[in-house]
Amino acid sequence: WFSTSDSCWLRPQHVLPLLGHGPQVLGDGRLQTTIREELAAAAAEVAPGPGTTKPGEHALLLATHEDLALTHPGMAAAVEPALVGLGPEGYVTTTHAGTDLLTAADARGLLHGFYALLRDGLAVFDGSTRREEPTCPVRMVNQWDNLSADAPMGSVERGYSGDSIFYADGAVVQDRRRVKDYARLLASVGINALSLNNVNVHGPETRLMTDHVQDVADLARTFADHGIATYLSINYAAPIEIGGLGTADPLDPQVRQWWVQASEALFAQVPDLGGYLVKADSENRPGPFTYGRTHADGANMLAEALRPHGGTVFWRCFVYDCRQDWRDRRTDRARAAYDHFMPLDGEFADNVVLQVKNGPMDFQVREPVSPLLGGLERTNVVMELQIAQEYTGQQKHACYLAPQWKQVLDFDTRSADPRAPSGAAVRDVVAGRTFARPVAGVAAVSNIGDDVYWTGHPWAQANLYAYGRLAWDPASDPDDLLHRWSRLTYPDLPDVQRAVVDILAGSWLTYERYTSPLGVGWMVEPGHHYGPSIEGYEYSAWGTYHFADRDGVGVDRTVATGTGYTGQYREPWASVYESVDRCPDELLLFFHHVPYGHELASGRTVIQHIYDTHFQGVEEVQAMVARWEQVADQVDGALAERVSGRLAEQLRSAREWRDQVNTYFRRASGVDDARGRTIY
């Protein structure tokens, strides 16, 4: 069923109800073939045996509307009205004359519907007709995989799950079984796009588009067989590095011609390619700034090269000065993306999509929402999340991130602005609704590797699952998704299902409690970013994040006296964040520098909040460990050992965080814990 790994939430027994109904798949397209293969593989695994369909039970038919019309014209005519206006990824379920029918205008919809039946069972066939389609047009994962383990950041940049499943020793892995299983996992939650290599494109990866093009074509075919378009991260300086030109100036005709020809050659050999993903002028990577050009110049050059092939450019907005002088208090990393991109709104070609991280910084446990989301009106936008837990425990710690993502998706970027009649919550923006954008959606840094459980911590699988489902429907409830994931992952083990839900539901907030308080972020070991280092990034070229001293803590980002970042928000947020009294507690230190005795809305002082949450966070991890011990013996030994080992490390690390943070602030502030607990 799965070649060399855990099958996560996609257990073969979930196919049993379908098999029991003698499913018939019409049509011979590649996606229909995939559905048939899934059914056959499951049948081989779980052996439903003959005659499981009881007399009188409905047959199950899966067919695009076109195929249905050929063989079952009556049924096709009856279901036709339900398909009107449904997008290419949507599907319809209905029952007609004793046949349960899954149909769609396009085979992509059929595949999504098939996996929905696996996830949710056949209860959907209750006599009614239902339409379902994704909210976000783009639902992408980004691999940060490098061609070799010798790359500057190893085999997978910020990877916490072993090595790449795609590349080893400078070449594309030839055994493609694992890649196919990954495509199945992604398709089963509704992902429809994937970028194949790290956004930091170094020498060897620059040549993916030339030296490894046949392998890229094979990988792209595997993903396309699962309804997923493949993108390449490209090196902005490729015309110099592999093209032999003296410049990568986006307005230079030779450079433009180079991209036109390179793209033509690439698409000729990789017909399943979706386009490019680009990190430019970011963290020492090349970009148009070198030539005094804008990001619109750079992105539009690539867009022009991709246009004849129907390709799209995803251009990242993670652009900031990583060589700062901390004495210059006007430079604020939080401002950078907006300062760079907002003036260019409306200048990007329609096959360019700006990819904006959820927050203005970098995937911290707590950040405000990026003001570019809802700020950009005349530009296609996708929001970038990080499923990989770079700053949230690196898949050693259990940290279910869907509640964080949900909070971002629900953030109303401006209340009741008449120019945004369709709603301006981030979930509306990423649906393309707010400003009627043709392309919109979400992208996220994947958290998988060649680990047998895919994600290091087996429970980090929940983040991949929940990402896919939230991308499909950002109105989903993270708790509901967690229940569903747990039930699918641990079928027949109800105690385990409940325990895992209990442990994970609040784990993001627990992580926040024992790490960085009140939106301040970044108190991590520089470089690898695991474990506490309160001053690790203070006064560094990458930015300064809390300015703690004996009098107070936090960054003044107000317009009145600080960096002016609050002014990038629309009302009411600009005023809310500007005001030390109205700013939400959880973001207070992101926006304001306050004395330790400052009283929060919660009624506690900042310093007492720091102490209380750090003690509480560790107690919560202790409770997680105890809850797991109640059920650990119900799962197989290897899984129990893996989870228990990770929980032990989480507890050790949480204590270290608590003690480092409490001690640092006790010494800086000179204020004792009101409850007299041990602070070293």
- CB-based closest residue to ligand GCW: 362
CB of 149 to ligand GCW, least distance (A): 16
Residue with tokens 């070198």: 290
Between CA 91 and CA 68 the distance in angstroms is 13
* Residues in 359-388 that interact with ligand GCW by CB under 6 A: 362-363
Residue 435: both structure tokens together: 């400003």
Out of 38, 215, 384, 390, the active site residue is 390
Q: Which stretch binds ligand GCW (CB under 6 A): 3-11, 17-25, 263-271, 275-283?
A: 275-283
State the nearest-atom distance from the C-beta of 391 to ligand GCW, in Å. 8
Residue closer to ligand GCW, measured from CB, 192 or 198? 198
Taking residues 59 to 78 in sequence order and writing x for each that binds ligand GCW by CB under 6 A, - otherwise, the string is: --------------------
**Residue 443 backbone phi and psi in degrees, to 5:** -130, 155
- Indicate whether 199 belongs to the interface with ligand GCW (CB under 6 A): yes
At its nearest, how many Å lie between ligand GCW and the CB of residue 322? 10
Say how far apart CA 614 and CA 617 lie, in whole Å: 5
Question: Least separation, in Å, of the C-beta of 529 and ligand GCW?
Answer: 7
Nearest approach in angstroms of CB 283 to ligand GCW is 6
Give the separation between CA 524 and CA 531, rounded to whole angstroms. 6
Coil, strand or helix at 232: strand
**272 included as an active-site residue:** no
Q: CB neighbours of 678 closer than 8 A, spacing ≥ 6? A: none
Give, in order, the Cα–Cα distances in Å from 45 to each of 177, 287, 313. Answer: 17, 51, 41
From the list 279-287, 396-404, 504-512, 572-580, the region that binds ligand GCW by CB under 6 A is 279-287
Contact yes or no for 395/389 (Cβ under 8 A): yes
Which residue type is seen at 8? C
d(CA 680, CA 671): 13
Percent helix, strand, coil in the chain (nearest 5)?
40, 10, 45
Residue 66 falls in the annotated catalytic set: no
- Which amino acid, residue 168? A
Residue in 38, 100, 106, 157 binding ligand GCW, rule: CB under 6 A: 157
Q: Compute and round to an integer the Cα radius of gyration of the chain.
A: 26
- Cα separation of 539 and 72, whole Å? 71
Contact range with ligand GCW by CB under 6 A, out of 276-284, 290-298, 514-522, 578-586:
276-284
Q: Residue 471: how many CA atoms within 13 Å on its side-chain side?
A: 30
- What is the C-alpha separation between 371 and 51, in angstroms, rounded? 58
∠ Cα 606 400 460 (to 5°): 135
Catalytic residue among 37, 120, 283, 672: 283
By the 10 Å C-beta count (0-12 exposed, 13-18 middle, 19+ buried), 651 is classed as middle
Judged by CB under 6 A, the chain residues 95 through 124 that form the site for ligand GCW are: none
Nearest approach, Cβ of residue 153 and ligand GCW (Å): 6
> Residue 333 or residue 433: which is nearer to ligand GCW going by CB?
333
**Toward ligand GCW, which CB reaches closer, 357 or 593?**
357
Of 101, 273, 279, whose CA–CA distance to 200 is shortest?
279
Phi-psi region of 233 (alpha: psi -120 to 50; beta: other; left: phi over 0): beta
**From 75-83, 277-285, 335-343, 629-637, span contacting ligand GCW (CB under 6 A):** 277-285
**Among the candidate windows 68-76, 132-140, 278-286, 426-434, which touches ligand GCW by CB under 6 A?**
278-286
Taking CB under 6 A as the criterion, the residue among 2, 114, 115, 144 binding ligand GCW is 144
Residue 226's Cβ-side half-sphere holds a number of Cα atoms within 13 Å equal to 25
Residue from 482, 502, 325, 489 nearest 405 by CA? 482
Q: Are strands 91-96 and 99-104 parallel, antiparallel or unpaired?
A: antiparallel
Residue 110: CB partners within 8 Å, gap ≥ 6?
31, 32, 35, 62, 63, 64, 91, 102, 103, 104
Nearer to ligand GCW, 158 or 592 (CB): 158
Residue selected from 158, 180, 333, 513 as contacting ligand GCW according to rule CB under 6 A: 158
Tell me how far the alpha carbon of residue 572 is from its chain's centroid.
28
Q: Which of 2, 223, 318, 348 binds ligand GCW (CB under 6 A)?
A: 318
Q: Does 437 bind ligand GCW (CB under 6 A)?
A: no
Least separation in angstroms between CB 357 and ligand GCW: 7
Closer residue to ligand GCW, CB minimum distance, 444 or 624? 444
Total of chain residues touching ligand GCW, rule CB under 6 A: 12
**Closest distance between ligand GCW and the C-beta of residue 107, in Å?**
34
**Site for ligand GCW (CB under 6 A): which residue of 93, 192, 195, 200?**
200
Which residues, at least 6 apart from 530, have a Cβ–Cβ distance to it below 8 Å?
Answer: 394, 396, 524
3-class state of residue 149 by DSSP: coil
Spatial separation of the C-alpha atoms in residues 457 and 401, rounded to whole Å: 14
Say which of 145, 362, 450, 451 is annotated catalytic: 362
Q: Based on CB atoms, which residue is closest to ligand GCW, 94 or 463?
A: 463
Which 325-364 residues touch ligand GCW, going by CB under 6 A? 362-363
**Residue 156 engages ligand GCW in binding (rule: CB under 6 A):** no
**At closest approach, how far in Å is the CB of 466 from ligand GCW?**
21
Q: Which is nearer to ligand GCW, 318 or 611 (by Cβ)?
A: 318
Residue 473 burial by Cβ neighbours in a 10 Å radius (0-12, 13-18, 19+): middle
Q: Whole-number minimum distance, CB 626 to ligand GCW, in Å?
A: 34
314 binds ligand GCW (CB under 6 A): no
Task: Tell me whether the omega of the peptide bond preceding residue 438 falls within 30 degrees of 0, making it cis.
Answer: no
The verdict on 279 binding ligand GCW (CB under 6 A) reads yes
Active site residue 367: no
Angstrom distance (rounded) from CA 286 to CA 26: 49
Closest distance of CB 462 from ligand GCW, Å: 22
Contact residues toward ligand GCW (CB under 6 A) are 144, 157-158, 199-200, 279, 282-283, 318, 362-363, 390
Catalytic residues: 283, 362, 390
